[in-house]
Structure 1
Amino acid sequence: MELLTLQHFAGCVGQAFDLSLGESTVPLTLAEATPGTTPILPGMLRAPFSLIFRSGSAIVLPQQIYRLKNASLGALDIFLVPVARDTQGIVYQAVFN
């Protein structure tokens, strides 16, 4: 498996990702892909970064690893954490260190 970096996701901002829930899927949109605030330290395999996904659903999914599918990146397993709720739905974050 290739080590994912910010560059993998930078071109996917605004794209759809399908979150798999067994028989059904929840559509997400990648809203942000930003570099982390932690400096790169010797021995780190990648620069830290963060992803923000938005869901139009009012249902909050628990934090855990989810299978996400995207037309550009294919299938990925990503740990998502719900971090906010607003008038547009739920916001999830994934942090890569």
Structure 2
Amino acid sequence: MAETAWFTYDDFADRVGDEFRVRVPDADHLTLVLSEVTAGAEPSGTGPDGAERQQFSLIFRSPSGHQLSQGTWELEHDRMGELALFLVPIEPDADGPRFEAAFA
């Protein structure tokens, strides 16, 4: 299983539009596109390197219209490698299903 790292806003800020492959039980994978990276107003704590992390959230879109249940999913990214994120389905929009990963 992929590990959940101490991610920061900067790890994802320049990845909007990138594809992340999700391993799903009923198919080889599902492709999600990172559509938003939003920084929060509050600091969230000190990481393993001693640096303070700002709260942030990620919004992913499922171009295929496939829905995922809430939970920790293994994702793969061409440059970031394997990562585990807790994804929560949120209100779909006109383009289809959306999922959020929040970091506090």
TM-score range, shorter chain: 0.7 to 0.9
State the number of aligned residues: 94
Pairwise CA RMSD of aligned residues?
Answer: 1.6
Is 1:77 the counterpart of 2:84? The answer is yes
Per the TM alignment, residue 80 of structure 1 is displaced from its structure 2 partner at its CA by 0.3
In structure 2, the partner of 1:48 is 55
Q: State the Cα distance separating 1:85 from its structure 2 match.
A: 1.8
Moved more, 26-35 or 83-92: 83-92
Q: Do 1:12 and 1:72's aligned partners in 2 also have CA atoms closer than 8 Å?
A: no
TM-score, structure 1 as length reference: 0.86
Residue of structure 2 in register with 1:32 after alignment: 36
TM-score (norm 2): 0.81
Q: Structure 1 residue aligned with 2:19, among 13, 16, 19? A: 16
Q: How far apart are 1:79 and its partner, in Å?
A: 0.3
For 2:74 and 2:100, locate their aligned partners in 1 and report how far apart those are by CA, in whole Å: 14
SS at match of 1:11: helix
Contact 1:28 1:53 (C-alpha < 8 Å) held by counterparts = yes
Identify, as 1 or 2, the structure richer in strand.
2
Runs ≥4 in structure 1, deviation > 2 angstroms? none
Q: How far apart in 2 are the matches of 1:17 and 1:3?
A: 18
Distance 2:66 2:75 in 1: 17
The offset of 1:75, in angstroms, is 0.6
Q: Distance in 2 between matches of 1:86 and 1:24?
A: 26
